[in-house]
């Protein structure tokens, strides 16, 4: 199936509303380091990264970008860039080391200090409660496939909300539950590294349930004006052709990538075609009668993470696969176009497709683009300057797509670049650089790249600059 190349907007057209939120995003395990300080215990990513062969070069997040010790320096960087918002995640094992019981006050003190530093610099804190760092003790008890983990998450949410609920204006329950469930429990390329398709479907449901339980806690304990959100890495799924077989393959992937979260959260049910597709694996009896009313508690906005589209055709996918019960019906094809260092195609039209789909399917739901960015092979030249023109081109194209979607009626309220800093890129270790700010991991020196200065100009003027 072919798509029409969108018209590129002129510079004068690409101006954003004065209240548009301009941010950058990070995640605790990817930047904080201090893996065993002040009572923090291992998360599943600590365990996974120390398992031989799981992470490139044997890299771990033990030190990462050392943000735990350089937080004020990093907030000062954000202020110089003019960011209005900063999206970060709380490390569950830093705040509640065993995943049960009382909070570690030293762990909470770090986040209290971070929030206070952000507010002192006029930057809105956007707090994510879960970005994949499940306490290892909870995984040892069964992890996300176990219902109890959802209740443990609700208890953890209460600890964070009690400490920070008076001054955090935006709360996100989960980041990309698809990755946590299907990369972690089906394909095994993310922590905890299990390859159990049935368990992955249970994990997806219990992540949904954890989200709903957390929404209830936040409504009770956060400030009454707080914005409660969820961030999904929704897939822009395209069939190769209009043939029945290819469109059915796209339907199956759409159910597992998108509707397994959108439908219960916003409509209070799981898709019937998803249940039918996966009937050979499960009867879905792990969904209890009172789960769905909890999962679909109203939220104030939806975060959208987008990097690249997905093209599928009829066929099969080699095992292990992150697509339970779909691997015999769908194969994935390369999307034409330039590639990033991740070998991901650059295709901003996919972001436009997602935002306008959500406009149609979830009318009245404000949207935030909570992650968007690209990895390139960045390096500091002899003068210490980091030129990254490809990233600027990527960001420009995707901001143009956001602007076009807004002009078409999508209620997009903000945009967050992934990422503020070069960091530990999960199974790729330190081999991939997504940051607007270059980090020399040996010295921990921060160097804003050309893209950081370009983005600062966008933020300052609320429009895309002329090339």
Q: Which residues are catalytic?
A: 176, 371
Reported in sequence order, the residue ranges of 77-143 that DSSP labels E, i.e. its strands, are 85-89, 124-130
Strand partners, 330: 314
CA nearest to 180, candidates 151, 154, 200, 156: 200
SS3 218: helix
DSSP state of 4: P
- For residue 190, is it left (φ>0), alpha (ψ between -120 and 50) or beta? beta
- The C-alpha atoms of residue 66 and residue 421 are separated, in whole angstroms, by 11
Q: Which residues contact 210 (CB under 8 A, 6 or more apart)?
A: 130, 149, 150, 153, 154, 173, 174
Give the E-state strand segments of 131-256 in sequence order. Answer: 170-175, 227-232, 237-239
What is the C-alpha to C-alpha distance for residues 448 and 143, in angstroms, rounded to an integer? 38
Cα–Cα distance for residue pair 304/413, rounded to 1 Å: 11
What is the C-alpha to C-alpha distance for residues 214 and 222, in angstroms, rounded to an integer?
A: 11
CA distances from 273 to 260, 269, 276 (A): 10, 12, 5
The three-class DSSP label of residue 52 is: coil
- The first and second tokens of residue 278, run together, are 């996966």
DSSP code for 345: B
Query: Which residue bears the tokens 């530093």?
Result: 117
- Tokens, residue 66: 């050392």
Closest CA to 180 of 161, 163, 193, 167: 193
User: Which stretch of DSSP H or E encloses residue 251?
Assistant: helix 244-254
Q: Are the C-beta atoms of residues 404 and 354 closer than 8 Å to each other?
A: no
Residues 6+ apart with CB under 8 A from 40: 34, 91, 93, 94, 97, 104, 107
């Amino acid at each position: 199936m072919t798509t029409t190349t969108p018209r590129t907007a002129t510079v004068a057209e690409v101006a954003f509303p004065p209240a548009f939120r301009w941010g950058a995003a990070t995640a605790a395990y990817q930047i904080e380091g201090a893996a065993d300080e002040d009572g923090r215990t291992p998360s599943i990513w600590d365990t996974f990264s120390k398992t031989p062969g799981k992470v490139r070069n044997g890299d771990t997040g033990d030190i990462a970008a050392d943000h735990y010790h350089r937080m004020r320096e990093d907030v000062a960087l954000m202020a110089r860039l003019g960011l209005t918002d900063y999206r970060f995640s709380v490390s569950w094992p830093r705040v509640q080391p065993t995943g049960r019981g009382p909070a570690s006050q030293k762990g909470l003190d770090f986040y209290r200090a971070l929030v206070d530093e952000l507010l002192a610099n006029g930057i809105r804190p956007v707090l994510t409660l879960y970005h994949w760092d499940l306490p290892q003790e909870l995984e040892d008890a069964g992890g996300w496939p176990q219902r109890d983990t959802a209740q443990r998450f609700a208890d953890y949410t209460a600890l964070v909300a009690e400490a920070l609920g008076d001054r955090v204006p935006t709360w996100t329950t989960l980041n990309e539950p698809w990755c946590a469930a299907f990369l972690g429990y089906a394909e095994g390329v993310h922590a905890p590294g299990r390859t159990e398709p049935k368990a992955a479907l249970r994990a997806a449901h219990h992540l949904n349930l954890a989200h709903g339980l957390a929404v209830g806690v936040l409504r009770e304990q956060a400030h009454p004006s707080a914005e409660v959100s969820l961030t999904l890495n929704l897939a822009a799924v395209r069939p190769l052709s209009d043939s029945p077989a290819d469109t059915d393959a796209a339907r199956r992937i759409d159910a597992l990538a998108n509707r397994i979260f959108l439908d219960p959260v916003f409509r209070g049910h799981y898709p019937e075609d998803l249940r039918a597709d996966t009937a050979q694996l499960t009867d879905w009896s792990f969904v209890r009668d009172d789960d769905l009313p909890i999962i679909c508690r109203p939220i104030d906005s939806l975060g959208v993470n987008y990097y690249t589209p997905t093209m599928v055709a009829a066929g099969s996918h080699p095992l292990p696969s992150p697509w339970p019960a779909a691997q015999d019906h769908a194969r994935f094809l390369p999307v034409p176009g330039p590639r990033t260092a991740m070998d991901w195609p650059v295709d901003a039209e996919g972001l436009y497709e997602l935002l306008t789909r959500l406009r149609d399917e979830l009318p009245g739901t404000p949207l935030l683009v909570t992650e968007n960015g690209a990895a390139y092979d960045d390096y500091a030249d002899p003068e210490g300057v980091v030129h990254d023109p490809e990233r600027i081109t990527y960001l420009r194209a995707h901001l143009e797509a956001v602007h076009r979607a807004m002009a078409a009626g999508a209620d997009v309220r903000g945009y967050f670049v992934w990422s503020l800093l070069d960091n530990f890129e999960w199974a790729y270790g330190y081999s991939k650089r997504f940051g607007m700010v270059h980090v020399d991991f040996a010295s921990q020196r921060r160097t804003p790249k050309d893209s950081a200065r370009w983005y600062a100009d966008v933020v300052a003027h609320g429009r895309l600059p002329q090339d």
